[in-house]
Protein backbone atom coordinates (compact mmCIF):
# COMPACT_ATOMS: atom_id res chain seq x y z
CA UNK A 1 0.00 0.00 0.00
CA UNK A 2 1.84 3.07 -1.28
CA UNK A 3 1.12 6.38 0.40
CA UNK A 4 -0.82 8.68 -1.90
CA UNK A 5 -1.63 11.56 0.44
CA UNK A 6 0.86 14.41 0.73
CA UNK A 7 1.57 16.60 3.77
CA UNK A 8 -0.69 19.48 2.70
CA UNK A 9 -3.54 17.06 1.99
CA UNK A 10 -3.00 15.44 5.40
CA UNK A 11 -3.19 18.79 7.15
CA UNK A 12 -6.39 19.82 5.34
CA UNK A 13 -8.04 16.45 6.08
CA UNK A 14 -7.05 16.64 9.75
CA UNK A 15 -8.33 20.19 10.20
CA UNK A 16 -11.67 19.42 8.53
CA UNK A 17 -12.06 16.23 10.57
CA UNK A 18 -11.31 18.00 13.84
CA UNK A 19 -13.68 20.88 13.03
CA UNK A 20 -16.52 18.45 12.29
CA UNK A 21 -15.81 16.54 15.51
CA UNK A 22 -15.84 19.77 17.55
CA UNK A 23 -19.13 20.86 15.95
CA UNK A 24 -20.66 17.47 16.75
CA UNK A 25 -19.49 17.28 20.36
CA UNK A 26 -20.44 20.89 21.08
CA UNK A 27 -23.97 20.22 19.83
CA UNK A 28 -23.91 22.68 16.95
CA UNK A 29 -24.75 19.92 14.49
CA UNK A 30 -27.14 17.13 15.44
CA UNK A 31 -29.43 14.48 14.02
CA UNK A 32 -28.78 12.33 11.00
CA UNK A 33 -26.60 14.92 9.30
CA UNK A 34 -24.36 15.03 12.37
CA UNK A 35 -23.87 11.27 12.32
CA UNK A 36 -23.06 11.30 8.59
CA UNK A 37 -20.60 14.17 9.04
CA UNK A 38 -19.00 12.45 12.04
CA UNK A 39 -18.49 9.29 9.99
CA UNK A 40 -16.97 11.44 7.23
CA UNK A 41 -14.67 13.09 9.80
CA UNK A 42 -13.51 9.70 11.05
CA UNK A 43 -12.69 8.61 7.50
CA UNK A 44 -10.78 11.85 6.89
CA UNK A 45 -8.76 11.45 10.09
CA UNK A 46 -7.99 7.78 9.45
CA UNK A 47 -6.82 8.36 5.90
CA UNK A 48 -4.78 11.31 7.11
CA UNK A 49 -2.99 9.23 9.74
CA UNK A 50 -2.46 6.26 7.41
CA UNK A 51 -1.40 8.39 4.44
CA UNK A 52 -3.41 6.30 1.99
CA UNK A 53 -6.78 6.97 0.40
CA UNK A 54 -8.54 4.11 -1.42
CA UNK A 55 -10.62 6.66 -3.35
CA UNK A 56 -7.45 8.38 -4.57
CA UNK A 57 -6.16 4.96 -5.66
CA UNK A 58 -9.33 4.32 -7.69
CA UNK A 59 -9.18 7.77 -9.30
CA UNK A 60 -5.42 7.66 -9.90
CA UNK A 61 -4.74 10.71 -7.73
CA UNK A 62 -1.46 11.08 -5.84
CA UNK A 63 -0.75 14.21 -3.78
CA UNK A 64 2.39 12.74 -2.23
CA UNK A 65 5.37 14.46 -3.85
CA UNK A 66 7.96 11.94 -2.64
CA UNK A 67 9.21 9.41 -5.14
CA UNK A 68 8.70 5.90 -3.82
6-64 pLDDT per residue, tens: 999 999 999 999 999 999 999 999 999 999 999 999 999 999 999 999 999 999 999 99
- For 26, half-sphere exposure in the C-beta direction (CA atoms, 13 angstrom radius) is 7
Q: Distance between CA 4 and CA 31 in Å, rounded?
A: 33
- Which residues does 53 contact at the CB level (< 8 Å), separation at least 6? 4, 5, 47, 61
Look up the pTM and report it: 0.86
CB of 41 within 8 A of CB of 12? no
Question: Phi, psi (5° rounding) for residue 55?
Answer: -65, -40
Alpha-carbon radius of gyration of the chain: 13
Amino acid sequence: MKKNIGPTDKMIRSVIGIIIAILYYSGIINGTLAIILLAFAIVLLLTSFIGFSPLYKLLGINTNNKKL
